[in-house]
């Protein structure tokens, strides 16, 4: 039999867990055991995404501090700045939209570096080259849900990748490429699915999961819907640094 003309890596079985901490550690264990510390097409569903696993949160905070990595909340804020929204903007979404650019100037203290890209900014200021005006994709979703009498289950798909700016880059643009929102009419529940082109699990994935949960919480609050599940599809999941520290983290949690 001839060898396959592709990387012969079996598909990973879908992972179905309750909350972001368990989701992150489950994938982390798989990556630590995988050849090359990478896996393709990893699908994770979190059925209780707002639940915080205190043990994982504390373990990650200690790991990030020791290795001079961004805090989980700092990474999460790149998707949705929950603390800034709650305390500085008094949960006023219109004020959040106006003041977010000011918030981005301050994010260096969260990330321990200057951040030039924001997923949240792409969601509220979507403006491909040539477009006359930016589109606030989140506000469009909220207005549609609030004002339309006839709701739909499959209306909503919002990109963060911009073909007019990103496809010529060496790294092909942002890792989180789009989010999909599914409204369950019978249960008044909102589910979120996120697509990651390339997903780094030492520094980013745990905070990414938290950020997606915070974003879904915000959208549900604004549309009077119930938080459902989050599904995250990592087209490539990987770890490349801090292997011994990550193994110790997993061992400590066990």
204: which residues sit within 8 A by CB, 6+ positions away?
A: 75, 175
Q: Where are the alpha helices (DSSP H) in 34-186?
A: 54-66, 72-77, 82-83, 93-106, 108-111, 119-124, 137-147
Whether residue 4 is contained in a domain is answered as: no
- Report the distance separating Cα 65 and Cα 77, nearest Å: 17
Whether residue 9 is contained in a domain is answered as: no
- Report the distance separating Cα 37 and Cα 29, nearest Å: 10
Whether residue 39 is contained in a domain is answered as: yes
Task: Determine the pLDDT at residue 112.
Answer: 60
**φ, ψ dihedrals at 183, nearest 5°:** -100, 120
Whether residue 63 is contained in a domain is answered as: yes
Task: Determine the pLDDT at residue 170.
Answer: 61
pLDDT in tens, 51-66: 999 999 999 999 999 9
pLDDT of 81 strictly over 90:
yes
Whether residue 6 is contained in a domain is answered as: no
Whether residue 104 is contained in a domain is answered as: yes
Confidence of residue 23 (pLDDT cuts 50, 70, 90): very high
Whether residue 130 is contained in a domain is answered as: yes
Query: Counting Cβ atoms within 10 Å, is residue 26 exposed (0-12), middle (13-18) or buried (19+)?
Result: middle
Average pLDDT (86-107) is 90
Predicted TM-score (pTM) above 0.75: yes
CB 162: neighbour CB atoms within 10 A? 16
Count of structural domains within the chain: 1
Residue 165 structural domain: 15-253
Whether residue 93 is contained in a domain is answered as: yes
Average pLDDT (192-221) is 97
Give the CATH number of the domain where residue 220 resides. 3.30.572.10
């Amino acid at each position: 039999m001839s060898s396959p003309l592709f990387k012969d890596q079996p598909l990973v079985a879908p992972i179905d867990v309750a909350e972001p901490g368990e989701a992150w550690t489950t994938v982390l264990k798989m990556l630590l055991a995988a050849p090359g510390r990478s896996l393709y097409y990893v699908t994770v569903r979190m059925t209780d995404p707002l639940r915080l696993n205190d043990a994982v949160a504390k373990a990650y905070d200690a790991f990030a501090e020791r290795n001079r990595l961004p805090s989980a909340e700092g990474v999460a804020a790149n998707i949705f700045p929950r603390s800034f929204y709650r305390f500085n903007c008094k949960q006023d979404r219109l004020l959040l939209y106006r003041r977010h650019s000011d918030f981005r100037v301050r994010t260096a203290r969260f990330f321990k570096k200057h951040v030039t890209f924001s997923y949240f900014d792409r969601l509220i200021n979507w403006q491909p080259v040539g477009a006359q005006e930016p589109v606030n994709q989140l506000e469009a979703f909220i207005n549609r849900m609030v004002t339309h009498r006839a709701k739909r289950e499959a209306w909503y798909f919002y990109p963060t990748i911009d073909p007019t700016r990103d496809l010529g880059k060496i790294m092909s643009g942002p890792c989180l490429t789009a989010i999909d929102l599914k409204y369950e009419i019978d249960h008044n529940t909102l589910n979120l699915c996120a697509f990651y082109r390339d997903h780094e699990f030492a520094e980013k994935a745990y905070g990414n999961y938290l950020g997606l949960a915070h974003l879904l919480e915000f959208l549900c609050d604004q549309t009077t819907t119930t938080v459902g599940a989050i599904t995250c599809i990592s087209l490539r999941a990987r770890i490349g640094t801090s292997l011994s520290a990550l193994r110790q983290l997993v061992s400590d949690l066990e």
